[in-house]
Amino acid sequence: MHPLYYFQHGLPTQNTSSLQWEGMDSANRRVKPIPGRGIDIARSPLEAASMLTAVPKDRVYLIFQLYEDSFAAFDILKPLVIRAGLDYTWEPRRQGEDMILGPGGQAPGPQ
Q: From first to last of its 111 residues, what are the pLDDT tens digits of the chain?
A: 999 999 999 999 999 999 999 988 878 899 988 988 999 999 999 999 999 999 999 999 999 988 888 899 999 999 999 999 999 999 888 887 878 888 766 665 555
Question: Which pLDDT belongs to residue 107?
Answer: 60
Four-residue CA torsion sign, 25, 36, 85, 12? negative
Q: CB under 8 Å to 89, separation ≥6 — which residues? A: 61, 62, 63, 64, 108, 109, 110, 111
Residue 98 backbone phi and psi in degrees, to 5:
-75, 145
Q: CB under 8 Å to 2, separation ≥6 — which residues? A: 15, 18, 19, 33, 34, 37, 38, 39
Question: Which pLDDT belongs to residue 72?
Answer: 93
Question: Which pLDDT belongs to residue 101?
Answer: 83
